[in-house]
Amino acid sequence: METTMNAPLLELKNVTVLHRIEAVNWAVESGQVVGLVGPNGSGKSTLIQAAAGVLPASGAVRWQGRPLRKIAAMERGRLVAWVPQDGRFEFGFSVRSVVGQGRYAHGDDGAGVEEALARLELRELAERPVSQLSGGERQRVLLARALATGAPLQLWDEPLAPLDPRHALQILQLARELAQRKNAAVVFSLHDLSLARELDAVVVLERGKLRAAGKPVEVLTPALLLDVFGVRAQTTERLTLKLP
């Protein structure tokens, strides 16, 4: 696989999606777990989809210096995994078959499927139709499918929203483990600003524009939280939010 030495794992330059995202410049280095935050409608899902190459956008999206639009679909499936915010399963696919879809770009070899099922605590549900699962269980199926791809760049759209606290913590641990692999990173959108403070980096979107990016302690300031989210923040051991 041809890469550009020292290039960011993910790089967006002047990425624009009509009426949704405007001229976003952003880079993700390997080894990072990055949180994407912003008010409802700020463009988080749109930006993740553009970065994953599943939504057309102008500008440049690059993976280690390579334009994603020039990477063949099968290779892209081995490099980037995308977890949608709301996975729909209209047919009676089993949990195992959906997780196995993550191996399609590898020739459907089945490698890593059992590991993904175990890592997301889905073994006991493996033969059940996904359509019969709860929202949190379906989310874990989507994450297991992404894990099974083995893709070094993982892009997850609000993966924690339907999960109970224990499974949410497990997903955070999984993200940290994945980011520590060679030339790997995890980017996911979320609403929990207290949680975002615990990540390696954070990106703040507002009305389709990148408002700030960097280390959470430097980005999530009281002034920015009040201006962007309309909340006052008091920093103690945790970030406590309340209406002004």
CATH of the domain at 48: 3.40.50.300
Residue 187 domain-assigned? yes
The pLDDT assigned to 64 comes to 87
Residue 20 domain-assigned? yes
Q: Rounded to a whole number, what is the distance in angstroms from the first to the last CA of the chain?
A: 52
Residue 156 domain-assigned? yes
Residue 136 domain-assigned? no
The pLDDT assigned to 243 comes to 45
Residue 114 domain-assigned? no
- Provide the whole-model pTM: 0.91
Residue 96 domain-assigned? no
The pLDDT assigned to 1 comes to 46
Residue 67 has pLDDT above 50, yes or no: yes
Number of domains, the chain = 1
Residue 99 domain-assigned? no
Residue 142 has pLDDT above 80, yes or no: yes
Helical H runs in 91-241?
95-100, 113-119, 135-149, 165-179, 193-196, 216-219, 222-224
The pLDDT assigned to 5 comes to 60
Q: What is the dihedral of CA 185, 142, 55, 155, to 10 degrees?
A: -10
Residue 211 domain-assigned? yes
Domain that holds residue 59: 10-86+151-242
